[in-house]
Amino acid sequence: MSNPVTQYRARQSRRAWAVGGALLLALTVTAAWRITLGEWAIPLPRVIYLLSPWLSGTERTPAEALVVRAVRLPRLLSAGGAGGLLSVAGAVLQGLLSNPLAEPYTLGIAAGAAFGGALGLLFSSLMVTPAAFAGALAALAIVSLIACRSGGTVRGGGAQLVLAGVVANAVLSAGVTFLKAIADDKLGAIVLWLMGSLSGAGMSSAAAVWGASLLVLVPALACAPLLDALSLGEGQGALLGVDEGRVRTLLLLTTSLGIAAVVSAFGIIGFVGLVVPHLLRMSVGPSHRTLLPLSFLAGGCLLSVADGVAQSMGELPVGVLTALIGGPFFCWLLVRRGGRK
Amino acid sequence: MNGFGFRLRGLTSGYGARTILKGIDADIPAGVLTSLIGPNGSGKSTLLRALAGLQPYGGTLNLTGGEGEREVRRISRREFALLAGVVPQGFHPAYPFSVWEVIGMGRLPYRGLLGGRATEEDDARIVAAARRVGVEKLLPRPITALSGGEAQRVLLACVLAQDPPVFLLDEPTSALDPNQAARVFALLRELAEEGRTVVAVVHDINASLAFSGHYLALREGTLLSQGPMDELNGDVLQALYGTPFLPYRSERGDVMWRALAE
């Protein structure tokens, strides 16, 4: 006797594997494109040879080897890691708050990290990351507080939460402008950093982003079924025995830290965390055990492609490109949600 | 099953500075379907939320039975989910989980601290719960595509999969047609007959007369009366709702009540 639920479960997992396979393929093609093409085309076999760890010291120095190892590879890894992290962070926030419009950018967390980071930069470049993290947490706390006080709840607080995010974004952007106005000789550094570009990515920033990715992905994936229950909203998580406070605190901390890591390395890259989980939910469903790893793959792929396009358009900041595409998508999402009610 | 009940003494609760429940002394018996009745805004839902441990409260609110009396607020969410299942009023999920996934979440309290993986037994219980509520045809559908009444029944199936000794329901039939409402009431009575404690906020006096064994009548945050269902009479109803009630007999000979507009 076969249980229909077991069949549905198997069908769902087959579909997730198929989508995951397609994403891996897309990621491979993107990686091959990004690492071989550019101002200087280098054939793939040559790239693979140049990337091999057994390359002798003298062979590492020619310009060709430098371009691949010190410029293209870190940039590819950074784009992949940052895109993956932002998507997973978006998916986690949307689940925790039971609000499909939650995202590092819309909630003002990214703006908080930017403000904190810019403030830190005024004092020392070493202060950027810790100050960005503090800024991200503070923005999240303020937005949640406003949402609660204005009659909404943090979970399922729909309009209030997004409105509070809008306000936080506006205030914090003004704050960043203020910092720029008083920055004097550091103005250039702040502007360049906040533009949201991967053009300066090095191996150390790639490593930082990948470390932060693990920090966001691993705990979220470990409690994926709890996240499912929380994402039902309306206190369902607590009724199903989930310690909402503890799970929410842990995951908000890790995602804020991850977002701050991306912002402090590359500036604000918005909307990736909104678009990717939403599109994936339409194809593999909202279960976080599949949604989170697939979000990581898809986000990495999307930001790598966007970065490639941005670079080919004369080194446009990739944050500009994601906002140009993501903004209209966000509107479409709002309209579609409104239309259903 | 060793039944669980509730003992309330001087129970107060509210939202912020607004007090809703103004000191309630009541006993909710084990193994019985208890109806919470009263006019709109009388505090029924707040009382149910307090019983579910979702609402801060003052006074005494103890779960009785099992290993003796325990304060509701001192029971962890995880343990409480094994003792009581709750069907809230209205359910508007943001994400398109399949119905089988939603019902499956009722098994969460039985799995590891991090939610673990579903077993064959879990899947069997999902199907059994869906059958009992009559939603097995909806299993592959996304919950967001269902009507309010269907979603409400799916949530009831979720609590059946949770299989707790106590069921707490806030207007479980508010979105259901008369046929489905009668089936849900019959199911609740069945659950009580199995020895479970069922507490439901109910507006349909005649349905609660037909199916429940005990009532708590709330008015303006205080307990107007409580007792076995057959003690509910026209005087109580008039005091409760502020309008006279007329008795009549159904075709089966049961006494029923009809409100008269003044």
Per-residue pLDDT reduced to its tens digit, B212-224: 889 999 999 899 9
pLDDT in the model for residue B98: 93
A98 interaction partners in chain B (CB closer than 8 Å)? 94-95
pLDDT value at position A72? 85
Does the pLDDT of residue A333 top 50, yes or no? yes
| CA A18 to centroid of chain Cα atoms | 23
For B144, the closest chain A residue by CA position comes to A340
Instruction: Kindly indicate the confidence band of residue B192, based on its pLDDT and cuts at 50, 70 and 90.
Output: very high
Q: Which residues of A93-124 are buried (b: 16+ CB within 10 A; e: fewer)?
A: bbbbbbbbbbbbbbbbbbbbbbbbbbbbbbee
Residue A339 has pLDDT above 60, yes or no: no
Average pLDDT, chain A: 85
B97, B159, B230 from A173: Cα distances, Å: 37, 46, 66
CB B81 within 8 A of CB B203: no
Structure confidence at residue B1 (pLDDT): 46
Give B81-107 pLDDT, tens digit per residue. Answer: 999 999 988 788 889 999 999 999 999
B167 touching A (Cβ < 8 Å): no
Q: Which residue of A has its CA nearest to B77?
A: A241
Question: What pLDDT is recorded for position A213?
Answer: 95
Q: Give whole-number Cα distances, B116 to A12, A235, B90, B110, in Å.
A: 18, 21, 28, 9
User: Residue B189 half-sphere exposure, CB side, CA atoms within 13 Å?
Assistant: 14
Proportion of chain A above pLDDT 90, given as a percent: 30
Weakest-pLDDT range from A7-16, A49-58, A287-296: A49-58
pLDDT at residue number A150: 66
What residue numbers bound the domain in which B208 lies? 5-88+166-259
Q: Which of B55, B77, B103, B162 to mutate to test the interface with A (most CBs of A within 10 A)?
A: B77
Q: What is the pLDDT of residue B262?
A: 66
Mutation site, A240, A287, A334, A340, interface B, largest B CB count within 10 A: A240
Contact flag B94-A156 (C-beta cutoff 8 Å): yes
The C-alpha atoms of residue A216 and residue A204 are separated, in whole angstroms, by 18
Q: Into which CATH architecture does domain A79-340 fall?
A: Orthogonal Bundle (1.10)
Alpha-carbon span B234 to B245, nearest angstrom: 6
Where do the domains of chain A lie? Answer: 79-340
Judge whether B157 and B132 are in contact, CB under 8 Å.
yes
**SS3 assignment for A252-276:** HHHHHHHHHHHHHHHCCCCCHHHHH
Write down the pLDDT at residue B48.
93
pLDDT at A159: 66
Cα A187–chain centre separation: 26
Residue A15 is predicted with a pLDDT of 93
Residues 6+ away with beta carbon under 8 Å from A33: A308
Hey, is the C-beta of B98 within 8 angstroms of any chain A C-beta? yes
Inter-residue contact A74 to A59 (CB < 8 Å): no
Q: Do B77 and A242 touch (CB under 8 A)?
A: yes
The span from the first CA to the last CA of chain B, in angstroms, equals 47
Interchain pair A5, B80: CB under 8 A: no
pLDDT at A154: 45
Scan for tokens 């039902």, then name that residue: A232
In a domain, B94, yes or no: no
Given a cut of 90, is residue A91 above it in pLDDT? yes
Average pLDDT value for residue range B143-154: 89
| Residues of A whose CB is below 8 A from B124 | 3
Q: Which of B78, B94, B140 sits opposite A231 (nearest CB)?
A: B94
B2: its two tokens: 């060793």
Q: What are the tens digits of pLDDT across the range A228-285?
A: 999 988 788 888 988 888 888 899 889 988 998 898 888 888 888 888 998 899 889 9
Give the pLDDT score at A341.
Answer: 42
The total domain count for chain B is 1
Under an 8 A CB cutoff, do B80 and A241 touch? Answer: yes
Q: Read off the amino acid at residue A103.
A: E
Residues pairing with B166 in the sheet: B84, B197
Q: How far is A96 from chain B (nearest CA, A)?
A: 12
Give me the CATH number covering residue B202. Answer: 3.40.50.300
Short-list A43, A88, A31, CA closest to A296: A88
Residue B5 has pLDDT above 50, yes or no: yes
Packing angle between helix A224-231 and helix A203-222, nearest 10 degrees?
Answer: 70
State the DSSP H helix or E strand holding residue B23, giving kind and residue range, or none if neither.
strand B18-28
The pLDDT tens digits of the residues spanning A137-192 come to 899 888 888 877 765 544 445 567 778 888 888 899 899 889 888 888 878 878 87
How far apart CA A296 and CA A87 sit, in angstroms, is 6
Q: List residues of A whose CB lies inside 8 A of any B CB.
A: 3-6, 8-9, 12, 95, 98-100, 156, 222-226, 228-229, 231-236, 238-244, 281, 285-287
pLDDT above 70: percentage of residues in chain A: 94
* For residue A1, pLDDT beyond 60: no
- Alpha-carbon gap, residue A195 to B91, rounded angstroms: 42
Question: Is B175 a residue whose pLDDT tops 90?
Answer: no
Structure ipTM over 0.85, yes or no:
yes
Q: What pLDDT, on the 0 to 100 scale, is given for residue A337?
A: 62
Residue the block writes with tokens 């929380």: A230
pLDDT of residue B90: 77
CA dist., res. A183 & res. B30, Å (int) = 70
Q: Are B162 and A240 within 8 A, CB to CB?
A: yes
Helices (H), A56-186: 57-60, 63-66, 73-96, 109-123, 128-149, 158-181
* Mean pLDDT, rounded, for A45-71: 75
Long-range contacts from A46-51, C-beta under 8 angstroms, 24+ separation: none
| Average pLDDT over chain B, rounded to an integer | 88
At B37, is the secondary structure helix, strand, or coil?
Answer: strand
Q: Residues B126-133: what's their mean pLDDT? A: 93
B44 assigned to some structural domain = yes
Question: CB of B120 within 8 Å of any CB in chain A?
Answer: yes
Q: Is residue B211 part of a domain?
A: yes
Quickly state the pLDDT bin for A27 (edges 50, 70, 90): very high
Best mutation target among B89, B105, B117 (most A Cβ atoms within 10 Å) is B105
